[in-house]
Amino acid sequence: MSNDGVTAVERALSVLDCFKPGAEHLSLADFSARMSLHKTTIFRLLNSLVRCGYVVREIDGRYSLGPRVLYLARVYERGFDLDAVVMPVLELLSAETGESAAYYVESGEPGHRLCLFRHQPHEGLHSQVLAGTVMPPDLSSTGRVFAIWAQGKYPNNERLPLYSRGARDPYTSSWSTPIVGDDDRFVGALTIAGPTARLDHVDKAHFESLILGHAQELSKRLGASAEILDALYK
């Protein structure tokens, strides 16, 4: 079967994508400025979305998201399983690199981080940080991600992923990159770690490409906008 999709459905969804924080109420002219579609086409799409409850037409003629969107958000929230989203990424990244892959989130104290999920190959020598471990601030790649991005600052001159060699202990090296989610907020870090003696001889550009690609997909699954995905991972 073909997986080309339905153009009309994709266009309707692109109308919904025009709504963003700070742009909750849009006129037909606003949509036209944001989309490469004729105003008549946009107007027809809006009418269909209004009839189905995904958009509401206000008294002043502008449009806003409708109650059906909130209903779907509640359904999504109740069925969302972070483990089911993150672990497949870690398993694939670990399989592709042969190294340990982990997902870190903020812990209770500033700068501290919790290893929430982790996956490592079954054979060979690997980093021994276990899921559930709380790590203090340090100069490792993951520690630097939290030192920078957990403050809500997204530097535009920081080359990703960050790399560290022997920062936490003299035998371990790692790559780490921030993960962003809903409202483009920093939510965690994706990390590859392994013995320095082995990582010194890998194709570093390939490893960096792998972690950035998976970080982009994970952030997308967690609700990051297309703009922040392009800014961070490309």
- Distance CA(83)–CA(104), nearest Å, equals 12
Answer whether the bond into residue 161 is a cis peptide, omega within 30°. yes
Pick the closest to residue 180 from 150, 158, 209 (CA basis).
Answer: 150
Domain ranges across the chain: 7-71, 80-233
- Distance CA(158)–CA(212), nearest Å, equals 14
Task: Kindly give, in sequence order, each residue whose CB lies less than 8 Å from that of residue 70, ignoring residues fewer than 6 positions away.
Answer: none
pTM above 0.75, yes or no: no
Considering the segment(s) 7-71 as one domain, its CATH architecture is Orthogonal Bundle (1.10)
- Can 7-71 and 80-233 be said to share one CATH topology? no
- Distance CA(142)–CA(137), nearest Å, equals 9
Q: Per residue in 32-57, pLDDT tens?
A: 999 999 999 999 999 999 999 999 99
Q: What is the mean pLDDT of residues 80-108?
A: 90
The CATH classification of domain 80-233, taken from the options 3.30.70.260, 3.30.450.40, 2.60.34.10, 3.30.160.100: 3.30.450.40
**For the chain, what is the mean pLDDT?**
87
User: Could you tell me how many residues make up the chain?
Assistant: 234
Work out the percent of the chain whose per-residue pLDDT is above 70.
Answer: 91
Q: How confident is the model at residue 70 (pLDDT cuts 50, 70, 90)?
A: confident
Assess contact for 189 and 145: CB atoms under 8 A. yes
Residue 80: what pLDDT? 63
Residue 34: what pLDDT? 93
The answer to whether residue 14 scores a pLDDT higher than 70 is: yes
